Structure 1
């Protein structure tokens, strides 16, 4: 791990550098794959007295960047607060990784159980074909309109498709939104 300490409007004394190394060194225990840590300390005389010292920590871990910034009236309190914030970010980062591994393992075991249950059901029973039913019927009046009006009407309704009577072709057309954002037009023909 490489620790770089910068100071803006503040002199970085050996005492401050050792304090940062001690505090940030503890972070390495939780993430041993840390590549670089950059600590920037700033003194701003124009701010309120309670926000004069700012500590900003930036950490690079396997291509991800973690960043924490805190401002207080004391440089050491700012460092402590920034390190605490970084601890929380590390906990979230590691928690996400652990939870996703747990979820993947749970999903794999659930899939295995479900597959075993399916095999048992298929072997134990005769194959039954699932009968699908129409659960809703809807009637509507076809309005004669051209393609541009149909696009406008479909957008106003917020639908992915629209059925209309096209007087130019003297037939019922179906307008639909494609995945690429453009539109498609179905023009059915009677056989």
Structure 2
């Protein structure tokens, strides 16, 4: 669970339901991070209300600070909770890529050179 999670509303008053939903969706994203990054990760969630002639529109932006990188995702829809869901999906993919890039040993041992080294060691 991301413990340093700050939620702010710009021209939008946050209620308990929205806060709990954001904590439930964005908080567990640390499971897609490498173990060394889980201790120092921070997340900032900004919800902005945009007034349209056709109705209100809400923009959700999440900024996650991990070691050596800043990961951001932004989306705007007519519903705040739907925007949080979309941003969560975007962050999911970005955090998985970050983990694959930082952990060099994941998925690298199946290459041609690794097979050659294993066969060379045997005999």
Answer yes or no: same fold by TM over 0.5. yes
**1:76 shift after superposition:** 0.7
- Greater shift, 35-44 or 88-97, is seen at 88-97
The 5 A counterparts of 1:93-132 are 93-97=98-102, 100-101=104-105, 102-103=107-108, 106=111, 109-110=114-115, 112=117, 116=120
Gaps of 5+ in 2: none
User: What is aligned with 2:45?
Assistant: 39
Tell me if 1:69 matches 2:69: no
Q: Which has the higher strand share?
A: 2
Taking the aligned partners of 2:54 and 2:29, their CA distance within structure 1 comes to: 30
- What CA deviation, in whole Å up to 9, does each residue of 1:67-122 have, x standing for no partner? 11011000111111111111111122223445x423367466256369x5xxxxxx
Between the two proteins, the alignment pairs up a number of residues equal to 114
Taking the aligned partners of 2:88 and 2:53, their CA distance within structure 1 comes to: 22
**1:11 shift after superposition:** 0.4
User: What is aligned with 1:11?
Assistant: 13
Query: Structure 1 stretches (4+) deviating beyond 4 angstroms?
Result: none
Greater C-alpha Rg: 1
Equivalent position SS for 1:27: helix
Gaps of 5+ in 1: 117-191
